[in-house]
Copies of this chain bind each other. A is one copy, B any other.
Amino acid sequence: MHKEFKVTFEPSGRTVYVLPGTILLEAADRAGFVIETPCGGMGTCGKCLVRVTDGDCPVCAHSRKVLSDDQLAGGMRLACQCKVETDLTVEVPESSLFQVGHQILQSDTGETVVLNPDVKKRFLNLVPPSREDGRSDVERLEAASDCAVDLAVVRDLPSILREQDFSVTATVLRDRIVRVEAGDKTDCLYGMAFDVGTTTLVGTLIDLVTGADMVVVSCMNPQTSFGDDVVSRIKKCRDEADGLSQLQGCIVEAVNALIADAASQTGIRTDDIMSVALSGNTAMQQILCGIDPKALGEIPFVPVFRETLKSTCSRVGLTAHACGEVMVFPQIGGFVGGDTVAGILATGMDRVEAPVLLVDVGTNGEIVLAHDGRLIATSVAAGPAFEGARIINGMRATTGAIEKVVLNHDVEVNIIGDAKASGLCGTGLIDAVSALLRSGVMDETGRILDPDELSADVPNAIRERVVPTDGQNDFVLVHRDETENGEPLVLYQKDIRELQLANGAIRAGISILIQMEGLTPDDLHEVLLAGAFGNFIRRSSALRIGMLPAVPAERIRFVGNTASFGAKRALLSSDEAERAEQILARVTHVDLSLRPDFQMEFGAAMLFPEE
């Protein structure tokens, strides 16, 4: 039996017992300290400094060469060279510990996140080969990094290593090196988070070194030209031999255009984007990855995968770095996909006790109820009315869109940008319908009344906007002299029916989840309103049309585009990506199509609530 020496590490006080002659670096490793060794432990870089505060640790030749006399006298040693020959107490300075960032960031929804992405860059100063050291290039790199090397990296390795005398930057994805660059490139590392909506794509470019948002870019989902809801797109994949490849092709192209746009706006290289996180509903996620979505269109509506899907940019077809990782969010079931998991992640609903409701308003509406540690989720086909589609004068919330409508003596509208009115976006539509309800121009069935049915209180300016057509009535929101094209901007009776369908689907879904948990709206501690345009909906209007359950307005909180925010969290922190998996395991999926009460609830929810 050899005698073992005790080595105590400060400030943590962790202690290990090692055999005489053990290198300090190894003792530290066994005590759980990962110490920087860019030179691969060859005693040349001086990064692995530790201070011996008690016990005798002879000065080794390398320490003498690299450290000053003062440092040596103060007990500083190179951990990679000095040996344990007696009991020691050793202090590990923060600066010697291997860490990329780990700063704490404030997240979009208020929660904090610790910066610790799956992908990191490390600067390595390798020892060049010599006649005495004939290790292969891969062995040399693996020894210095303690990571495996991908084939894609191996191909150009000899040139890159020799370009700046074996000083390189390795991009490490968990425990694999996926890219090697000559010299120190540690400050160029980016990720991109995407919310892949049925109607809208939103991308956020993130600096993975600082954790900062750099730019947000968005565009229409070009698949809308093949059908504006998920069901029509699944049908196309089922019915047409090249349906899937057409749909995948155009969405991948759109995502790539956003990547290029974000890079050009910020002056970064797309090749430095090493990580992409995608969240969307099950159909959107599957189609983007080229995964046949047909089973989502058949009973019992099973997704092809549920757990996080990890792939590479080249396999998915994205024009970030070919070996960059693509993380597709875990999917819950039916159409409840990665966007819902991302929403729960972003809002921290997996950690609340009191009943909290999350409503993500989009073409596919997702609803999650957290209660007593349980999470139940469903999706409803709201249709694209909230995103301005299927509305005759509908448009996205860009320049010229009416985003706010108030009825006093006459109609007052607010238009985005310095422009004349061109159309009506989702928030404007909700406002308009809510205002018509309040003013009595429309009844609870959604019917715009005949001018002669209107109460005497209705001002003439408003009354004159009601236009009878073919036995029903439309409503002029903006007169021709204030519109872009010189035609009156009309809200049609038919548009209101579209809104009723969208609104009713969401109302019915919310209602069923609340009933399943034995709750009433008033029990809800908070109602979180999410979605790309969620922040712009006026709470009073959403309450008036019944889109949200009847709670006091102050309990409604806008949480923004949680699908994007959740994807960002997963990019910024491997723990958050892991948490997404844990959320998946906890959510119960409610398939409304299996519930006999849904049709009845839906029918009732088509009516607007009484004032």
Tell me the A residues contacting B by CB distance below 8 Å. 129-131, 134-139, 149, 151-152, 154-159, 162, 289-295, 299-307, 309, 311, 315, 331, 333, 589, 591, 594
Contacts and interface: CB of A to CB of B under 8 A. Distances in A.
Contacts of A305: 136-139, 149, 154
13 contacts: A129-B300, A134-B300, A134-B591, A136-B302, A136-B304, A136-B305, A151-B311, A155-B289, A157-B291, A157-B304, A158-B292, A158-B294, A159-B292
Contact of A292 (B156, B294, B303, B307): B156
Q: List the 3 closest pairs (A to B, CB-CB), nearest first.
A: A138-B305, A158-B295, A136-B306
Given A157-B304, A158-B291, 17 more contacts: A129-B295, A129-B300, A129-B302, A130-B300, A131-B594, A134-B300, A134-B301, A135-B306, A136-B304, A136-B306, A136-B333, A137-B304, A149-B305, A154-B291, A154-B309, A156-B292, A157-B291
A295 to B, nearest CB: 4
Contacts of A155: 289-292
Contacts of A306: 135-136, 138-139
A255 to B, nearest CB: 17
Contacts of A301: 134
Contacts of A309: 151, 154
Contacts of A292: 155-159
A594 B134 CA distance: 12
Contact of A299 (B131, B151, B156, B158): B131
Nearest to A309: B151
Nearest to A326: B151
Contacts of A311: 151
A294 B155 CA distance: 11
A79 to B, nearest CB: 28
A158 B300 contact: no
A222 to B, nearest CB: 21
Nearest to A157: B304
Nearest to A328: B151
Contacts of A157: 291-292, 304
A136 B300 contact: no
Contacts of A290: 155
A176 to B, nearest CB: 13
A136 B291 contact: no
A289 B151 contact: yes
A136 to B, nearest CB: 4
A250 to B, nearest CB: 17
Nearest to A150: B311
A561 to B, nearest CB: 26
A330 to B, nearest CB: 10
A129 B294 CA distance: 14
A154 B289 contact: yes
A299 B307 CA distance: 49
Given A131-B594, A151-B289, A154-B309, A138 B294 contact: no
B151 A315 contact: yes
A135 B334 CA distance: 11
Contacts of A159: 292, 294
Contact of A307 (B138, B289, B295, B589): B138
A294 B129 CA distance: 14
A302 B594 contact: no
Contacts of A295: 129, 137, 158, 162
A346 to B, nearest CB: 23
Contacts of A594: 131
A306 B196 CA distance: 43
Contacts of A139: 305-307
B158 A304 contact: yes
A79 B526 CA distance: 50
Contacts of A137: 295, 302-305
Contacts of A149: 305
Nearest to A296: B158
Contacts of A162: 295
Contact of A154 (B130, B134, B299, B304): B304
